[in-house]
Structure 1
Amino acid sequence: MHLAAQAGVRYAMENPSSYVHSNIAGLVSVLEVCKSANPQPAIVWASSSSVYGLNTKVPFSEKDRTDQPASLYAATKKAGEEIAHTYNHIYGLSLTGLRFFTVYGPWGRPDMAYFFFTRDILKGKSIPIFESANHGTVARDFTYIDDIVKGCLGALDTAEKSTGSGGKKKGPAQLRVFNLGNTSPVPVSDLVSILERLLKVKAKRSIVKLPRNGDVPFTHANISSAQREFGYKPTTDLQTGLKKFVRWYLSYYGSGKKSAQ
């Protein structure tokens, strides 16, 4: 299972080469080792919901086009899917890509909105709430980490063996891609309201236009394929998941009276 990557849409504008290094060169390094192994392993790896880019048809389905990425991060994940296809085709590697939708929870990424909103609300700082064109709502299909883990295990459990050995293909091998989401997009303003209730602090909100930094207005997963293939069924709603996150955050960082770095 290959989950290492340079994640995040915004940082890709500051340090593009780190994304190419991790998400493209890093993936190729893993696949090179796997194709030469005997026996070859089956591989499950992390793609991203960002590959859907500027698509407007919702919910996003694995059959939808993924050729209009809105960020370099998305482009490197899309490149990973194409590279997976190549190694499957030439070497018979069994490959499953998982398109994660806004994963959150304890020990999550500090650059994600739910995380730094929590920090800034506790510090009394103003938080930016993006709105898309024509005052549209920015919404995300927030998926709790436990549900993602269940999806990862389901993908591993149903992965078929690779068909090659020692770099030589012996027959067609499994090549799959699945959405792992929660199927219920939540407006970012609702996310803030839940955090306010859990933290018992009123947030200072500032409404900001969605910048042209690769963020997309909304994400929404169609998960019927993962449901059918390995019984994927998310069970944690945003309220429950954020409650667990906030409990972890406060125990790890305290209530923010001292610097929460």
Structure 2
Amino acid sequence: MGKLDGKVVLLTGASSGLGKQQAIRMAAEGANLAICARTESKLAETAKICEEHGAEVLAMTVDIMDYDALSAFVAATADRFGTIDVLVNNAHTITVPAPFLEKPIEDLDLEMRSSLYAYWHLMKLCFPFLRDRPGAGASIINFASEAAVMGDAFYAPYAASKEAVRGLSRVVAREWGKYNIRVNTLCPNGMTDNISGGIDWMEPATREHIEKSFVNNPFGRAGDPYEDVAPVAVFLASDDSRWITGQNIHADGGGLINA
């Protein structure tokens, strides 16, 4: 038996990176999946792997900054599966890291729309299907970031948007507990294909800063998206996390240790 047998998981940003590895891991744990991303060919690859693990998969090309597209995605998920047990707000468009003085307001707008606003919309759109689920109820997992918690240099728009996500998630956790919905945020450390492929062209100082941030933990290595981060998302999606809500979980190898 898998930890997610019979659950329907709606997960954004599944064409690559952490989203892809979460989708595959959740499929292996018995979930059926509604996944979306902007790149159709990559999304189809993720869907194929998940189906090979036995999952039923709905894959749709969606721009999460488009409300109508989000609404259509949620409606299609409900039509296909009848319900939604888990919402994973994973997708986020990150702008090029640079000092705050060099960051235009357009970068902040883009990052807020691709995370905070999208997460806001999806939580509301999914609510009618998440509410009052029996037993352990439903789960919402909103991705945050240690870079925001720590105030990491070069990440002003990213930090602002991700900390806003944490604040929103705490409020919704308080308000929706009565509907048997738990809401948690997850701060991951995982060296994804997106990150490793995206830093090669950056300025040397920026690239070095980013590379060091991924190994600045007691283990001295970057986390593996499938082996280290995805199992934590599976836990938060599963009934085993039934008594955890309003919390921020660090799947970062101890990159942030405090009381």
TM, length-normalised to structure 1? 0.47
Which has more helix, going by share of residues? 2
Name the larger-Rg structure.
1
Larger RCO, structures 1/2 (Cα 8 Å, 6+ apart): 1
TM, length-normalised to structure 2? 0.48
